[in-house]
Amino acid sequence: MVKVNQSVYMQFLIAHQYMRKHHLTPEQFMELDKRSDLLGFLEDGYEPFHLTGVDGIMDEVERYVGANPR
């Protein structure tokens, strides 16, 4: 259960950072997630990401979104 809570917290933290950086509303972020499955990417990558700082995770997210524009 702890891993699930930590994974959800990381998704929240990175989603919030991404929205701030790109000036997105929550609705716009959810549309992006529908197209790219960004939250799924963060969940699947929790193990390596939880040892990485926010800046490193944001770099990975930028690459992922750029490679999955759908």
User: How many folded domains does the chain comprise?
Assistant: 1
- In the structure encoding, which two tokens stand for residue 9, read together? 């917290």
- 69/36: higher pLDDT: 36
What's residue 12's pLDDT? 94
Domain interval for residue 40? 2-67
Prediction pTM value: 0.84
Model confidence at 40, pLDDT cuts 50, 70, 90, reads very high
- Per-residue pLDDT reduced to its tens digit, 1-38: 566 688 899 999 999 999 999 999 999 999 999 999 99
* 43 vs 3: which has the higher pLDDT: 43
DSSP per-residue letters across 7-52: HHHHHHHHHHHHHHHHT--HHHHHHHHHHH-HHHHHHHTHHHHTTS
